[in-house]
Amino acid sequence: MRLSRAILAAASIFTIAASTSASAEGVTVDDLLKDQSTAGDVLTNGQDIRGQRYSPLDKINTTNVASLAPAWVFQYGGEKQRGQEAQAIVSDGVIYVTASYSRVYAIDAKTGTEIWQYESRLPEGILPCCDVINRGAAILGNKIYFGTLDAQLVALDKKTGKVAWRKRMGDFKAGFSYSATPLIVPSKHGPLIVTGTSGSEFGIVGTVDARNVETGELVWSRPTIEGHVGTLLGKPSTMTGKKNESWPGDMWKWGGGAAWLGGTYDPDTKQIFMGVGNPAPWNSHLRPGDNKWGCGRIALNPDTGEINWGFQTTPHDGWDYDGVNEVISFDAGGKKLAATADRNGFFYVLDRTNGKFVNGFAFAENITWAKGLDKNGRPIYNKDNYPGDPKKSKDGKKGKGVFVVPSFLGGKNQMPMAYSQQTGLFYVPSNEWGMDLWNEPVSYKKGAAYLGAGFTIKPIFKDHIGSLKAVDPISGKIVWAVKNKAPLWGGILSTAGGLVFYGTPEGYLKALDAKTGKELWKFQTGSGIVAPPTTWEQDGEQIIGVSIGWGGAVPLWGGEVAKTVKHLNQGSSYWTFKLPKKMAAN
């Protein structure tokens, strides 16, 4: 199906009678904060507002998972397939899941029957970077919140799917888009819905925005690139950093830094954690300096939008090692820590109270761009692995090329990792690949690609690209690794049943022993999986759910790798699994 057909589709809502037990006030902020400890629902992206993706449910476990079987499957419908990257949320017996082309579905969790469907009207000329995907919705009160490819934030009535309000987050003609899951957090202003946007490849300037959940009105906005001034309650607040401290000339004005993956919240320190994407353009010779806060993580005060601390994983990025990957709070050794696995191939442990570096190590293999990390977590650069300055070439059109590992699609990309409170391990969906990379001249023009680079992605091993790794965040040890021929692009779920669930582009949903990595179960769904599984309890039974549909960045940007996976089938559906009742009762 051609994209033009989809973006001409009118917004539509289809409703049938729904029977739910929702209370008058609906989901509360307290419910969101306690999400991990409540078995009958999934209210946050990550099964936990901290993003741990760990469930205390254990009815499905290492002893019986081999009998797991499909319960029902729901088709998203029509020709609108492409990548399905959303994690569903589950509340009062209803599954709310987003799909490609800015759609939302409400589905009866027991039967798989559609309750309502909403499809946003998409204009001509949208500029999404990496497929027409959406990563999920948020819930609060009696509303469902999600964002659209043309950078609008939409609130829907959760019973009917009717629009309560709609707010524009950025000008799609300038390159703004949105595909993340909104984050809802408490603040002194009441609950806020927090978002970033996509668009660094078009030279937009990233911001983190917080809005009133009832009206959608902006409460505060925090630019992610230094030199830009934030807002608070409709007035200018403070500047991010100091203008020109780590950016030259006017380059900060088109500096990228999109916080495009969304964030997590730490109730202990009352901070929002957001990843900040690549600085723009990719051609790093045009912007000497660290280019804060591109390719970094920031902690924000939910009351003011002020940055409490920042940590750059790749200062002066020259490889598009987008720093947006999720920041997950966990405790170890009596310390409040946070972990993040970066596209640059390194795993970082930070003190989440102040952002200080605690530990870091490589989780990707054969890294070439850096020799390691220093005592402060700053990369020790291999300067020979920066692509050359085109101004120094004979014709001024193409700088000296290099082969770099990992590729810009990263040791880990958007697919979220999981943490197990049982094992103390993180389960990281990683990829082993490199790229030929060279720089080119470029200048900013509104709505035009702002890269200044060319690339070709290549595998570095013959037998695999994907590798699911169990990582000890304290010792830095890779406890086990399971290889996969195609790249891994879907997230991970860990459970108290001693299991790790994940999907593959080849179409398998799999369950592994969390301690050993031994494969205990798999099921062929018919299309590649690029979404994270989730789990909840329903009528005394544990359910596993996952969205199915091959797509995302790999087939669009994957170079030689894309050619190797072009045979994979697209799809567009949501699957649920449970144990046979006799087995579940044993």
Alpha-carbon span 158 to 17, nearest angstrom: 13
Q: Name every residue whose Cβ is closer than 8 Å to that of residue 567 and which is 6 or more positions away in sequence.
A: none
What totals of helices (H) and strands (E) does the chain contain, helices first? 5, 41
- DSSP state for residue 177 in the 8-state scheme: B
Closest Cα partner for 109 from 558, 542, 552, 565? 542
Q: State the residue for tokens 């830094």.
A: 257
Alpha-carbon span 347 to 456, nearest angstrom: 25
Alpha-carbon span 170 to 150, nearest angstrom: 8
Known catalytic residue at 351: no
- DSSP state for residue 412 in the 8-state scheme: S
Closest Cα partner for 452 from 244, 194, 279? 279
| Contact by Cβ (8 Å): 288, 327 | no
CA distances to 418, 426, 512 from 494, rounded to whole Å, are 6, 9, 9
Q: Name every residue whose Cβ is closer than 8 Å to that of residue 503 and which is 6 or more positions away in sequence.
A: 490, 509, 510, 525, 528, 529, 530, 531, 533, 546, 548
Which of 317, 320, 322, 342 is catalytic? The answer is: 320
Structure tokens at 566: 């072009």
Strand partners, 458: 434
Structure tokens at 408: 């810009």
Looking at the annotation, which residues are catalytic? 320
